[in-house]
Structure 1
């Protein structure tokens, strides 16, 4: 459960945000990690263990299809001190903690490795070292050091062994062949955003970059005012846009299911750009790729100090984006159709519903808009004071109403009073009472807050104008208690035990006693009144007298001055007796008293050396502790529980709970150096406090973390809810969704609607955030009905669509060839596609002025007729020798030139270039099935063991028996049964396998 409520962010919390597939948004706020359930858009957990500001957070990836076991969400976080912590979020337990000496993590991502457990955490440290950690044990698996500066990295989502790093001078470094069992080799390649600009300063950096999640071999990069879309294999720029804007770019976030991305600016402006490719007629080389602005968010009226610190996109819907501001405020925007005025809940609208990817491989959409969906409001910055609501006289039937809640009133520098439900750490109400910083705050009853604030007068003198109001928390009505005049600043304010009287102490003015009911001044003490340090009303020594059906209370006030003198003031009705000095039993030579609190017969005082004194008035006995290393006592408060004398004592960096009967400490909260307590109070015997990091905390446990209760678990990580959803997919009726809330049935109407079995399963998997299963189900659907798969599943496309998409990209690349390396790669791709004319034209008509003679000879070779048996045998022999001599590219080109592409793909597979062989087979062979099936054998081998990918490839080839056999062999009975039902629905029957699956218990 959340034990903290955060406010403004630390500058190092920039980009410390991550959105999980399960609808949980985690972000860092100073040293605390906050987890928000986006379905309800409220905090469900806070995690506190770091001693420095959190700079990175990363959710663990979802499990693979072949290891599909339910698991609670885990989160990795790092801080400026270099500490990395792995959390079990729901239980708030730390599963591992580790660090690399003398370095800080600059970037951190989970390495998804085939079907292995999701335990591998890749971290880039400030000493230019890349470390792979085992997150279960905290052990370092390997470390690779760079000889140059690197700052951030992005893992290729289509090939996790390839990683890109940002470096200086707008350079991107590519490292390939990254594996989990050994560090990568020192070889790397460089890609520059400005390859021909030699004037770029060496200390310039890329603002942000990432691999495109929805388009293979594409990388997105930002400078402060430019967007780049790069083709990684050829290092060519596919799209570039210079933006005329006053606010720098902050982040680019790509979509997974469509060729589109969001560009976020520091001022909160978000533009959604969708890829559009314009082909030239008659299969001509060229064309134009642009990422046009489809829509942008509504204008934000933010001042210059209110800026975006981080942004995150929902990895499931890709239609919801959250902006995290430096104030701690989170704004969620929802992508929707332009004419859609309905407010749609989160997870009810997906990007695939708004943008169609048709059989012509184009994005098609109507007018779109990016509308504000919901806002999370944090505490204001610069908290000043906190006070716990008295619950003695609360008698309300509706326990969920504001009148029945355990509330803490939190005063702020902006004059706002936040009413915080301490058990949920949720702001129930905000009261804008003052326009200046609140200095004092007291409860004048269960529904009345008395607050004092002051602003400096328009003069150079030290006088101010004090604002003192009594505010009704239910209606928001406020009443001024005393007139506003130029005077000395108010220092202290104390409401009496029966909330009848109000004592006000000023910096250089005499003490005032007010009647809180009638709001009239009862007495202003004489000018001889000393400087008051603290005041306390008695909770025991009072009497009540009824006069004319009204109760007249006699209450006692004790005043402590700056010379350690105590004065006793008696207030009864309209009469205030002069204060009389009280003889104390303090030892001579004691330090200056700083604070005081009174309950029953116990008067507690604290001094500047941390000494605590307990004066028992009934026994006329005084006890005190020795001076403390914790330093000066700043404030004290007694528990309000009847007969309980637990005392909370606030020091500069500590809060200590004391058993005053035995004068022994019972609990000690140490804040270290990361923050300091500003004010505190007690809820029962549990401290609540505000700290210098603009955080409010309910300190129910010493470790500052608590598990999420079963009833409070977010819906998408609730195991029972997940099981019931899958029971709907299997056609069983053992469901009871009502217990999850009245809104749940509306939310899951899609699962109850009439649709095909596979569509229902795909929608349920996506709603629950299991994108691996979702991909599997839409591949099954595509294999059955021929529907077009999105581009991120391009490797499962039929050869015809794959060839068309590759040819479209090659047209752009050929038209923008700038270097010899690009020319060679583009010629190879053209030959594989069978586009000899493109290859010859590129070889003969380019502006490189390098290797013209070799290019001309190669063009002649391509144009030659090699149809005779002798020429083909000779060419094949030369190609084989070239491949054996490690000139693989030349050999492959020759083989495709003589229509021996199948042999070329086999040679590539023998060299371990499996992905390239499959890609070339789909580009250049009339039937790629044999090559793809050979790849499946490789994936299923013990040395690779990537069975999940093998399963999806088999299904894309409609190899149903082999797919079912693979599921059975790995005991994936649930997925197997779903596939069986889908196949039966389409009249595909394997009786022996069906009986085996259905017979399993």
Structure 2
């Protein structure tokens, strides 16, 4: 998303990951079924306190439910449900002038529904004839939309938020690339290449014959955001680029026979490039080769063999992953702000973040480089030309890494500061998920007052492939992965904060015997040793292991074999029970032991020894001295082993339900008591013991609470079948008990013998629980069969957390997480610090009357910026405009990014033009090398726009295959003023064609039109009659023939063809006439029924109407943007100086902007005072007001 975060669906959860630090920031749990689509809201609007930076995300699942989230708080804003089938596709509307909350979704099989995603209201619904698979919005025109259906493509041209499309769209069919004739002709002689290029038409209005319909292999359809009216279709083995003006393929990216098929493609906006994901997990970047051989010089003999199609060269690729049955790439996303990093999600839960890095190569590499033309570094950085190349600038975004590549080679070589660049992918982030279930989990020993210094909350997870994963539970990050077993891990017991024992059993052989593996692992070093030495081959399976309370002894329980007692410290076997000893069904160590009394004895001995050394020998009797010598011996021994062996007890139950009590001390194991079975209980499956309370669970779901002190027992039937595990919560006096069953879990209070909460599979959750444990005294951790591990509170209800309450290992830059006031204050601080001599990134010393807490949060955000960014922000030569652009990128603010890109471009080029009347050629040269990118379409310079349109029509002409296409090309050439080539095309019409006579006469007319005045007036009369009688396009052509393009534009606008009029004005009119046409268009865009003011502002910027832009920003209440823009204009001298009143009024706005934005809302007093002082007369009252004590201002 524009917010800089990655969201992905995982089973019924939605995870949110920070791309820079590769940390999971949020997990959203509310869906009951698998999530199939996640989409971040757009940020294409002006942000202020009323519409702040907020993290909004829509997710959809297989049952047709859409949830819109407020990600920061983890709450659902609304839930949407129309049908009960999986959502096929959904997108937020990108034009957010009217509303920022609109979401379009495809509800199977054939409905599109527009929702208000803030309230969950349905605005309209529309059905189509075929099943809809996906759709794509036209990034240049919000009223255009294309649906990919099971039969072809449906183009909708009357999309509007206010009402459903009236028409059912224009339907076109695709013949699959593999059945199109071009593929069958590949074997022909080389001369067939030209014919092949002409035959490859893939879109037609006729339904293709049955055998050629294999649309199902079309994986994706997308408009290209880098240039208008192009679309790509993705097939497993090729990508087709279509020119929608003529519905024809103008480029094919095919994979060689041995190559790896495509899965997904993401077209770029800033450059004509494609990020492609292949089936082996490899991401490749392809960039269009610049076609410098096409020259757009009018009426010249065309190149005998011009570029036949758009060619995309492979520029970079990342490493593939190892694909297996269970491991394959799922999907890729690309950062929409900078387009220089991509993330890949793999089916095993890994998220890999790849960043594109550029390196400047030496000139000598030119000769060795492949057939692809070289890529050059860009000529401008953040909108301002870089001049003779400074030190290498950071790779901010794709357009800062590679130049436009649209300029012919000679011109590029003339401008000396271009350097050739190479691109490569670097893996900068990796998040690993959990492997496939089943798991066993065990939390490390609990936090106590003694271990508080070295305690870390870590969870060990044993997996089916024999490895143990150790997770840091607060951050959810993988701490270590240890491959220690060769088969499925069945249980883990911690023996200290940094060591555990785990056991695994292989699958049984035909005698029912297995290989048991019992490993002792030291976490800091990762060293593991076989705990039972050589034992373990061909014996009954280990059922469970239990470590004693003081971590001295280990009991190992087998399936059909008596238990073993081991000493954990020395790894020695203390006792293997005899053959006739009963097999244990459940076992638990007692929390009581004699360590305290032993310690007391040890202290007494030490004191006695001290007494002995002080007193004289005569006073000591012989008896005492012998005792002391024994104690000294014991003391020295215990110091050698550093351990006193305390006495510990355990109880276990036999198959008959009898409870046995045993004592272990040193290396002796004594049988001490037996308690007869309780008749009300079935076979005992588990025991838990804490303090004076002992709890038993059985196969029938009964829990039996024994109070050992009061000598009473109480049985509770839970009616939940087999009790698989019971465990007491840690913490002194905490008698909560966690019980796990086949179908869920419960928490009990053993003091009151009452159930606290319950979780049941199929009732309140959809997953089955595999294992449970306590992670703190009031939180439990569950492992479930959907492959997730969840931490829940005592209510066991799934709940999301607030992101700002989370402790991250590494601070992440995300201003969206701050409260609205704080995120806007941080933005103001980064943008402009007029009160400082030089820029600073230290906000603590600023006079900013917010509480210290917020200041600290802001400082944390500033500290988390990368060093490259900090360097730029502190650079005194980094101009205000560049700063605005950089901050727009940092905030992922789409509306600001487009505004400042265009403002920076035109403010710079206009300030260059002013002093340069004599040196016109130099200026023109710079503009040639550095025009505004073509992705801004109608906002580009006229000469560059014309050049692009000529190249486009050249390509269309080369690709002609039917009469219709030829006619469209001839029409375009006439509008572009390329009369000679148009005549050639008109004369190609064959004599059998119905249009033969008409086209021949038209050719004669075009060649003779330049003659007398009377003929012109006749043509004008005919043209106006044609337009009046509904033949708009024909009339406009005639007007263009007699150089009356301005009239033609007026007619097009009258008939509502605003885009066409703007296009014609750009390619045919002088700059003054063109500006008139575009200004009329601006008025139209601002009208309430159209309401595209943000587009209107950009058009005004491209015309250089800066005063008008400032006025409009002010009238739209974009005060912060207006203030910065006026400041930038004054720096560039873009306002006419002689217009004093004008400047004064602007200055008075300055103070308004300062007042509203900086003072009232954000509390930056120093900045406000400075702005007010700039405002001259108008600012005087304000200054007085600002310098008053704070209370009065707040009252007012």
2:726 alignment partner, one of 620, 636, 640: 636
1:898-937 alignment to 2 at 5 Å?
898-927=1042-1071, 928-937=1074-1083
Between the aligned partners of 1:222 and 1:209, the Cα distance in structure 2 is 6
Q: Contact between 1:738 and 1:744, CA under 8 Å: does it hold in 2?
A: no
C-alpha contact 2:439 2:461 (8 A) present in aligned 1 = yes
Alignment-derived partner of residue 486 in structure 1 = 538
CA deviations on 1:489-541 (whole Å, 9 max, x unpaired) are: 11111111011111111122211111111111111122234443321111135
Q: Distance in 1 between matches of 2:485 and 2:47?
A: 60
The verdict on how the C-alpha distance between 1:340 and 1:27 changes in structure 2, with shifts beyond 3 A counting, is: farther
Stretches of structure 1 lacking an aligned partner (at least 5 in a row): 1-19
- Contact residue 557 and residue 569 of structure 1 kept, 8 A: yes
- 1:677 corresponds in structure 2 to 769
* 1:168 aligned residue: 150
Matched, 1:622 2:724: no
Partner of 2:71: 89
1:823 alignment partner, one of 966, 969, 977: 966
Pick one of 879, 899, 904 that aligns with 1:776: 899
Q: Corresponding residue for 1:612? A: 703
Aligned match for 1:763, one of 886, 890, 902: 886
> Aligned partners of 1:702 and 1:576: how far apart in 2?
44
Correspondence for 2:350: 329
SS at match of 2:496: coil
Where in structure 1 do 4 or more consecutive aligned residues deviate above 6 Å?
Answer: 344-347, 361-364, 846-849
Residue 291 of structure 1: how far off its partner (Å):
0.6
**Cα offset, 1:658, TM superposition:** 1.1
Where does 1:71-90 land on structure 2 (aligned, <5 Å)? Answer: 71-90=53-72
* Equivalent in the alignment of 2:982: 839
Q: CA deviation at 1:242?
A: 1.9
Conserved? CA contact 1:347–1:767, under 8 Å: no
1:385 maps to 2:440: yes
Q: Which residue is equivalent to 2:927?
A: none
Change (3 A) 1:522 1:851: farther
User: In the alignment, what sits opposite 1:60?
Assistant: 41
Aligned partners of 2:555 and 2:564 also within 8 Å: yes
Q: How far apart are 1:880 and its partner, in Å?
A: 2.6
Confirm or deny that 1:441 pairs with 2:441.
Answer: no
Matches within 5 A, 1:644-663: 644-663=734-753
Rg larger for: 2
Which segment is superposed worse, 350-359 or 757-766? 350-359
CA contact (8 A) 2:498 2:524 kept: yes
Are 2:1062 and 1:971 equivalent residues in the alignment?
no
Q: Identify the range of structure 1 (749-758 vs 497-506) with the bigger mean alpha-carbon deviation.
A: 749-758
CA deviation string 1:709-740 (max 9, x = no partner): 26758422244466334323223448427534
Where do residues 511-910 of structure 1 align in structure 2 (5 Å cutoff)?
511-540=563-592, 545=598, 548-549=637-638, 550-578=643-671, 580-584=673-677, 586-588=678-680, 590-628=681-719, 630-672=720-762, 674-682=766-774, 683-700=776-793, 702-709=797-804, 714-716=812-814, 717-719=816-818, 720=822, 723-732=825-834, 733=836, 735-736=842-843, 738-740=859-861, 742-744=863-865, 746=867, 747-753=869-875, 754-786=877-909, 787-845=930-988, 850-851=993-994, 853=996, 854-865=998-1009, 867-910=1011-1054
Structure 1 counterpart SS, 2:723: coil
Q: Deviations over 1:864-912 (max 9, x none)?
A: 3254343333323332333333332222222212222122222221222
Alignment partners' CA distance in 2, 1:741 and 1:974: 21
Instruction: List per-residue Cα deviations over 1:253-301 (Å, max 9, x = no partner).
Output: 1111111111110211222111124234565274242111112123444
> Which residue of structure 1 aligns with residue 1146 of structure 2?
994
The range that moved more, 950-959 or 279-288, is: 279-288
Tell me by how many angstroms 1:577 deviates: 2.1
SS at match of 2:100: coil
Q: Distance in 1 between matches of 2:904 and 2:772?
A: 60
| Cα 1:603–1:347 shift into 2, 3 Å | farther
Q: Which of 377, 383, 397 lines up with 1:350 in the alignment?
A: 397
Q: Which residue of the other structure, out of 338, 362, 368, is the alignment partner of 2:423?
A: 368
Query: What is the distance in 2 between the residues matched to 1:780 and 1:346?
Result: 21
Report the Cα distance in structure 1 between the residues aligned to 2:655 and 2:395, rounded to whole angstroms.
64
CA distance in 2, matches of 1:846, 1:542: 108
Which stretch of the first structure deviates more once superposed, 612-621 or 722-731?
722-731
2:29 aligned with 1:29, yes or no?
no
Q: Secondary structure at the match of 1:699?
A: strand
The aligned counterpart of 1:468 is 518
Give 1:167-186 correspondences, 5 Å limit: 167-168=149-150, 171-184=152-165, 185-186=167-168
Q: Could you say which residue in structure 2 is the equivalent of 1:317? A: 338
Name the stretch that deviates more: 903-912 or 187-196.
187-196
Compared with structure 1, are the counterparts of its residues 530 and 154 closer, same or farther at alpha carbon in structure 2 (3 Å cutoff)? farther
Distance change in 2, residues 1:762/1:367 (3 Å): same
After superposition, give the CA deviation of every residue in 1:940-970 in whole Å (9 maximum; x if it has no partner): 1111221111111111111111111111112
Answer with 529-538 or 157-166: which moved more: 529-538
1:371 shift after superposition: 2.6
1:161-190 per-position Cα deviation (integer Å, ceiling 9, x unaligned): 111121235x32211110011111213232
* Contact 1:66 1:115 (C-alpha < 8 Å) held by counterparts: no
Corresponding residue for residue 953 of structure 1: 1099
8 Å CA contact 1:210–1:219 kept in 2: the answer is yes
Offset at 1:554? 1.6
Q: How does 1:257-272 map to 2 (within 5 A)?
A: 257-272=270-285
Q: Which moved more, 1:431-440 or 1:76-85?
A: 431-440
Structure 2 CA distance for aligned equivalents of residues 558 and 148 of structure 1: 69
Who is 1:4 aligned against?
none
Q: Partners in 2 of 1:454 and 1:511 — Cα distance?
A: 16
Q: What SS does structure 2 have at the residue aligned with 1:893?
A: helix
- Change beyond 3 A, Cα 1:66–1:451: closer
Contact 2:48 2:824 in 1 (8 A): no
Number of corresponding residues: 971
Change in Cα spacing, 1:187 to 1:117, as seen in structure 2 (3 Å) is: closer
After TM superposition, give the deviation of residue 703 of structure 1 in Å.
3.3
Kept in 2, the 8 Å contact 1:166–1:205? The answer is no
Residue 802 of structure 2 aligns to a residue in which SS? coil
**Is the Cα contact below 8 Å between 1:679 and 1:690 reproduced in 2?**
yes
Deviates more, 1:376-385 or 1:42-51: 376-385
Maintained 8 Å contact 1:383/1:410: no
Q: Partners in 1 of 2:817 and 2:35 — Cα distance?
A: 27
CA separation in 2, counterparts of 1:741 and 1:311? 30
Deviation sequence 1:213-258 (CA, Å, 0-9, x none): 2222111221111111111232111111220245321110111111
- Contact preservation (8 Å) 2:1097, 2:1109: yes
- SS, match of residue 532 in structure 1: coil
Q: Which has the higher helix share?
A: 2
Cα shift at 1:569: 2.2
* Shift in CA distance, 275/139, structure 1 to aligned 2, threshold 3 Å: same
Separation in 1 of the partners of 2:148 and 2:132?
A: 6
Instruction: Give the structure with the larger strand fraction.
Output: 1
Q: For the residues of structure 1 that align with 2:788 and 2:30, how far apart are their CA atoms?
A: 15
**Could you list the per-position Cα deviations for residues 418-446 of structure 1 after superposition, in whole angstroms to 9, with x for gaps in the alignment?**
22222222222222222321111111122
Distance apart, 1:80 and its partner CA: 0.7
- Deviations along 1:762-781, one digit per CA (max 9) or x if unpaired, are 12211221132122112112
